[in-house]
Structure 1
C-alpha cells in the first residue's frame, strides 16, 4: 500500500517592505519602508522609540533611538526641534552640518550598521527621499563616579581610580599626559556585545612593533561578547595556561601613566574599571606605586619586606614540614622539644595538620572577600583568632602549626598587586607536597621548577623575568632597591624606545656653606 505524501505548506506571505532594497541591506528612501526595516531587525525591543516629525517645508522624517541609553532632553533640543523648524534644503549632509546642533555625527546607508549604532546609544534620523541616515552618538548612561581604588589601596600619592566609563578613564589619563604624542586607538570586539576597546600609547616613546602586536592580537579576537578587558586577557597573553599573569591589571591611573612613559602599551575597555599593561615583567610585582612617592630608603625597606613575604608565602609550609619530618637535626634542640611537646595529643599527622590549617585560612580569606566589608572584617577576626585558639585548646592542632599557617597567610598580602596573589596562594600547595615527600630536596626541586617555568614565559615576546634573566644591572638594582629618581634617566633598554632618555636633570650636588 502506497503511503500518502503530505503536501507542502504554502510559503508565508512576504511583507511588502522586504521586497524593497531595505531587505538587501540598504535604505530605499521610502520612509515607511526604511523605518519598518529597522524595526524588524530590532523587533521585540520595548525601549525602542520612533518619533515622527514634519519639517516646516513639509518633508516627512523620523527619529529612532533607545530611550534608556540616550540623553532624551538633548534629542528634543538639538535634533527634533531644529528639524521641525527647518524649512530649507532636505539633503542629509546639509542638515547634519547646518541644522542639528551636535558635536559629532556620521552618515550611514547600511541597514545593519545603523541597527548596531542604535544599540550602541546612537540616534538615527531618517528623511523621506534620503538613502542615508544621520547617526548622532548620544550615549548617556550613568556610571560610577571616580572614587578611591578598591583592590589597590594607595598610601601615598594620588588616590583616584578608574571607573566603568571608558571616556572618563581616558580623560583621567589625558589630564596627566598633556602631550599630542598620547594616542588612542579604538576598535570593537564582540559580535553581540560590540564592546569598545582602546589601545593607549605614546607615539614617539612606545615601539611601533609593540603597538602593532597589541592591535593585531585584539583584532584577531572573534567572540560573541566581551565583558571587559580583564575578560580578554586569556586571548592576549602569550601563555594563558600559565599560573603566572603575564599582563598586569591595574585600576590606578598613575600606574598606567608610568607604564606609558616607559614605552609600554595599555588596553582598556568600556564597562571595565581596569587596564592591562603590556609587556609585564615578574619582578615588577614587588613594586608599589607609593614607593616612588616615598623616600628611597623607605621604598627599599618595604620592597625587601615584600620579597621576604613572597618567599614565606610559597615556601614556609613546605620547608617547615621538611625540617620537622626529615631534617629535624637542623632544628635547635630546645625549639624541637617545644614543637614535640605542643604536638602531644594531636590526632593528625604533621603533613595533614599543616595542609588543613592553610586550607582553612584560604577558606576564611575567600569567604571574607565575598562578604560585605563589615561582615567580612568580622568574619576574618572570628575565623583567624577564635577558631585558631579553639582548635589549639581542643587538641586538634599544635600551636606551632597555627603560627606557621598564620604567617604564611599574612605573608601573601604583603604583595601590592592583586593579580599576583592567586599564583602565590596556589603554589604553596605543590611546594608543601614536594617537601612532605622529599624533604628539603623536594623544596629545592620545586624552587628550581618554578624558576624554570617563570624564566621560560614571555610577555608580548619580551622575557618575563627581565631584568633578572636576561640580566640587566641597572634594572636589577631597581627591583630590590628604590633608587633616587634622578638615577632613572633612561627607559628600560629591552623596550627599544625611540627616545631612550627620559630626563636630562643633572645629579644634585650638596651645597656647602662658606665659613665666615
Structure 2
C-alpha cells in the first residue's frame, strides 16, 4: 500500500508550479515595464508606485468561481464617482453570469464589451499608464493570471455649480460662467456651437500634476498656422506643475517684458464662442474657470459681452467712453503735474488762482503729492480686494473718504490732487479687462515721472514710447494693434465702435484664413410693406 502524500507537500508543489509559470514576468523596477501575471505581485508594485495613501482603495473581487479567478479593483476615493464605481463596475462584475468554462484570455473581452457599463474602457499593460489612470480618477481592475488591466472611466467628485461670472457681469447677457471642471467647460462651449467643425484636442501638461487641458478651434474658420503654432508652444512646455491657466499664459505668450497682456482670458462661454467664430483658439485648463484666447489684440480688451446684447449705438457710445476713461486713468495725474509745474499759462486765470490758494502751505511738490495719494489709493484698493467681501468695499470707501479729508485738512495734499487721483481711480474701473487696467496703473507712475521732469513734452514723449512699444508687440504672429495698425477697414466694424450686426460681414482676415465671410448676403433690415399697416380701408 502506497504511503499518502502529505497535504503540505501538495500545497508546496502547487506554489512552486505557479511561481514557475510567473517566471516570465521579470522583476523590473522601471515604471514603463509590463505587468506580472501574479496578482499579489501586481498589487505590491502598484502600492510602491502610489505610496502609502489612505484614500487609495483596494477592493478584492471574485470574478468567476470555475475556474476560480481572483481580482482587485483599485481607485482613489475622493476623485471618483462612487455611484458609478458601485453600480457600473463592482456590482456589474459581481452579478454578471460568467460561463463556467471561461478562459482567462477571453475574460477581458467580456469585461470590456459586455460587463462594464461605463463610457470609456481601456486595456493597459504598462505601469506608468496605470498609475496615471488611477490618479486621474479612473478605476483599474487587476486579474490574477493576466499581465494586463482594465481601466474604467469613473472620475467625478464634487465641483462648483455653474454660476454667474463674478468678474464679467452683464445686464442682459447669459448668467452662466466656466467652472473648474474641464468636461463641464467643454460642454458649455458645445452648447453654444453645435457644429462638427468645433475641434477639441486634449493634452496633459506638468510632469507631476498631469493637468488636463483642451485646445478648441473651428476647423473651417481658424488659421491652420496659428493652430499649429499654439500646439507647438504647448508641446514645448516642460515643467513639473501646471496649476492654472496663468502658468500656461506666461509660457506661451510672445512678449514677456511688457505690461500689456498679449493673451486674453475670460470666464464667459459666450465670449469664448464668439471668439472661436472669428477664428481664434481657446485653451481650457482643468482646475481654473478662466479660459485663454489667442491670438489677441489691443482693442479686444475694451470689448465687453454687454456690447453685443444692447443696441449698436448704445454699445458704441459706451465703448468710446471706455477708451476715454482708459486715457484718463493713464494720463490724468501726469497732465495735472505738468500743468501745475511747468505750464501754468494753459490754466484759466480764475482756476489757477484757486489752485494756487489750495497749494499754499503744501510742503511737497506736485509729484510727491501725487505719489502719496496714488500709493494710498492702491493700498486701499488692494485691501478692499483681499479683505472679506462683506467688509472689503466698506473699508476701501470709508478709508478713502477719511484719509483724503484728513490729508487735505492736515495740509499734506491739496483738494485738487484728491479729485484728480479719485477721478483717475474711478476711470480705471471702467476697463473690462483687469489685466489691461493693471497695465495702466503701472504706466501711470512712469508718466508722472516724465511729466514732472519735462512737462507736457515729457508726456508726449511717454505717449510715443508707449505707442511704439505696443506697435512692436505680437500675439502668436498677429500685430497687437490690429485692426488699427495695420489698418483694416472691415475690422473697424468691431473696433473703436460696435457697428450693426448686418454690417459685420467679414471675419478678421489676419486671424481667419478659411471662411472669411460671416454672412452670405446683405442682411440690412428693410421694410417689406409701404405705408402704415394699421390703415383702415
The aligned counterpart of 2:186 is 170
Q: TM-score, normalised by structure 1?
A: 0.94
Contact 1:53 1:61 in 2 (8 A): yes
Q: 1:22 Cα deviation (Å)?
A: 5.5
Give the alignment of 1:254-273 within 5 angstroms.
254-273=270-289
Contact 1:55 1:85 in 2 (8 A): no
Aligned match for 1:34, one of 20, 24, 42: 42
Aligned match for 2:110, one of 69, 94, 108: 94
1:201 partnered with 2:209: no
The aligned counterpart of 2:85 is 75
Q: Which moved more, 1:197-206 or 1:477-486?
A: 477-486
The aligned counterpart of 2:19 is none
Q: 1:187 Cα deviation (Å)?
A: 0.3
Q: 1:477 Cα deviation (Å)?
A: 4.9
Contact 1:120 1:139 in 2 (8 A): yes
Aligned match for 1:45, one of 53, 61, 65: 53
Q: Measure the CA separation in 2 of the matches of 1:477 and 1:152.
A: 23
Q: 1:281 Cα deviation (Å)?
A: 0.4
1:440 partnered with 2:448: no
SS at match of 2:29: helix
Q: Which moved more, 1:234-243 or 1:399-408?
A: 234-243
Aligned match for 1:23, one of 21, 26, 29: 29
Give the alignment of 1:208-223 within 5 angstroms.
208-223=224-239
Q: Measure the CA separation in 1 of the matches of 2:112 and 2:225.
A: 39
The aligned counterpart of 2:4 is none
The aligned counterpart of 1:240 is 256
Q: Measure the CA separation in 2 of the matches of 1:444 and 1:294.
A: 36
Q: Measure the CA separation in 2 of the matches of 1:98 and 1:324.
A: 83
The aligned counterpart of 1:12 is none
SS at match of 1:493: coil
Contact 2:123 2:148 in 1 (8 A): yes
The aligned counterpart of 2:71 is 61
The aligned counterpart of 2:13 is none
Gaps of 5+ in 2: 1-21
The aligned counterpart of 1:339 is 355
SS at match of 1:114: helix
SS at match of 1:55: strand
Contact 2:119 2:153 in 1 (8 A): no
Q: Which runs of 4+ in 1 moved over 2 A?
A: 16-24, 81-91
Contact 1:27 1:111 in 2 (8 A): yes
Contact 1:92 1:130 in 2 (8 A): no
Contact 1:56 1:85 in 2 (8 A): no
Q: 1:179 Cα deviation (Å)?
A: 0.9
Q: Measure the CA separation in 1 of the matches of 2:167 and 2:153.
A: 33
Gaps of 5+ in 1: 1-15
Contact 2:222 2:513 in 1 (8 A): yes
Q: Measure the CA separation in 1 of the matches of 2:240 and 2:189.
A: 30
The aligned counterpart of 1:4 is none
1:136 partnered with 2:152: yes
Give the alignment of 1:76-475 within 5 angstroms.
76-86=86-96, 87-88=98-99, 89=102, 90=104, 91-475=107-491
Q: TM-score, normalised by structure 2?
A: 0.90
Q: Measure the CA separation in 2 of the matches of 1:266 and 1:43.
A: 36
The aligned counterpart of 1:6 is none
**1:348-380 C-alpha deviation (Å, 9 max, x unpaired):** 221100111111111111110111222111012
Q: 1:241 Cα deviation (Å)?
A: 2.0
SS at match of 2:282: strand
Q: Measure the CA separation in 1 of the matches of 2:408 and 2:126.
A: 72
Q: Measure the CA separation in 2 of the matches of 1:287 and 1:67.
A: 44
Summarize the Cα distance change of 1:321–1:17 in structure 2 as closer, same or farther, 3 Å threshold: farther
Q: Measure the CA separation in 2 of the matches of 1:18 and 1:236.
A: 46
Q: Measure the CA separation in 2 of the matches of 1:171 and 1:78.
A: 23
**1:196-225 C-alpha deviation (Å, 9 max, x unpaired):** 010011111111111111111111101001
Q: Measure the CA separation in 2 of the matches of 1:96 and 1:131.
A: 16
Q: Measure the CA separation in 1 of the matches of 2:238 and 2:108.
A: 34
Q: Measure the CA separation in 2 of the matches of 1:500 and 1:73.
A: 47
The aligned counterpart of 2:524 is 507
SS at match of 2:61: strand
CA RMSD of aligned residues (A): 1.7
**1:434-457 C-alpha deviation (Å, 9 max, x unpaired):** 000010111000000000000000
Q: Measure the CA separation in 2 of the matches of 1:18 and 1:240.
A: 54
Q: Which moved more, 1:89-98 or 1:355-364?
A: 89-98
Q: Which moved more, 1:80-89 or 1:108-117?
A: 80-89
Number of residue pairs the alignment of both structures matches: 501
SS at match of 1:376: helix
Aligned match for 1:488, one of 501, 504, 507: 504
